[in-house]
Structure 1
Amino acid sequence: MKSIQASALAIATLILTASSTAWSQPGQTASASAGMPAASTSQGAAAPVSARKADRALRRQVYAAIGKHKEISAGNISVVARGGAVTLNGTVTDASQVNEVAEIAKGVPGVTSVTNKLTVQKPFGGA
């Protein structure tokens, strides 16, 4: 009887120990996971928010620049902006538009580089 109680107590202690172990989140320092805020968290909190706003504004500017060219169907083009670097994904209707859209994006103020992943849309039922 005592051996059963001892093993149950050992198992309960093991479960309690395992469940109380705290793991830090990715990108979080050990001091922040232990309840002590890191020194950079209070200062760096505003930087990601303003960076995201700037990225969204740049993305809208690139969309607006592409939209000024009526011959380009921008409905199948997605624009991702990160710190001035723009990535273009999606499809266009004509092969000449692939480079044209990239050049339009490069001309937007604030764009530092353009990664062009655009492809030509294949017609339905065609090869």
Structure 2
Amino acid sequence: MGPFSPWQLAILVVVLVLLFGAKKLPDAARSLGRSMKIFKAETKGLREEDGADSTAETSSEPASAASSSDPDMRQLPTTQASATRTDKSEDASADEQIADLQRQLNEMKGNADEPHRNAS
């Protein structure tokens, strides 16, 4: 029978109908279903990302180990160089994003002021 008997389930349904009303229950169930679907999709996406990241790391590690006689000495400079390149590109993209957002803000401020000028 499971953890609940049929009588307990019937009482639970009656209490839910009394608390939430018959009109709200289908909407609540529908929104709960949508939320569950979104949650499952996000967790699936995270699992796929983790799998892709670990696959990329394992495939790059044997190649670098085979190409260098002392992996500790050769790996350090390339890691620092790529980190520097990434920092510079992130700074540039962040600066572009800030400039774009500032431009949008100025446009919105200008558009917000125009109706006030026309109204007076």
Larger radius of gyration: 2
The normalised TM-score by structure 2 is 0.32
Greater relative CO (CA pairs within 8 A, separation 6+): 1
Q: Which has the higher strand share?
A: 1
The normalised TM-score by structure 1 is 0.30
